[in-house]
Amino acid sequence: MSKHSLINLGEVFPETVEDFFAPWNDWFRRNGLFNRATVPAMNISEENDHYKVTVAAPGLKKADFDIKVENNVLTISAASEKEKEGGGSKFRRKEYSYSSFARSLTLPLDTDPDSIEASYDGGILTLNIPKDSDEDMPSKKKIEVK
């Protein structure tokens, strides 16, 4: 059998495949069996004297972020745990929610990792990465979110 004879039913009949699984998708989601991992969107722009990285991460606190530079790789990660309580006269319930993500990118050689600044406001994490012509980069650095 050649590779051209294989058929992906989802491509040929997308509505049929979606309709077949539709009744189950809600049940899986409600019971926590079909959660899709999400990674926040990241935008990177270049200015004359710096690079700007923005990450859409609403609902977090500054303390949830861990930002590091190691061997020319910038890693942005966050983890948060939330607990929701609800109750009534005949029952009590607790719901826990844990979410985390990590994004990494290789820094251009013209950056100055020692001068990276991070801020978090309105659900947007912003990193300003200054440009520097000196290519001697430290191997490790942790960045504090302000």
CB 55 within 8 A of CB 129: no
| pLDDT value for 19 | 53
Instruction: Please state the φ and ψ torsions of residue 24, each to the nearest 5 degrees.
Output: -85, -30
| pLDDT value for 141 | 75
Which tokens sit at 141?
């650095």
The per-residue pLDDT string of the chain (146 residues; one tens digit each, 9 = 90 and over) reads 444 555 544 455 555 445 555 555 555 555 554 444 578 899 999 999 999 999 999 989 999 999 999 988 999 999 887 766 555 555 566 666 677 889 999 998 889 988 999 999 999 999 999 998 665 555 677 888 88
| pLDDT value for 34 | 46
What are the residue boundaries of the structural domains of the chain, listed by start? Answer: 1-36, 37-143
Class of domain 37-143: mainly beta
| pLDDT value for 80 | 84
Strand duo 73-87 + 92-106: pairing: antiparallel
Cα(42)–Cα(17) distance, integer angstroms: 31
| pLDDT value for 17 | 46
| pLDDT value for 130 | 94
Contacts of 39 (CB under 8 A, 6+ apart): 101, 103
Contacts of 45 (CB under 8 A, 6+ apart): 51, 52
| pLDDT value for 59 | 86
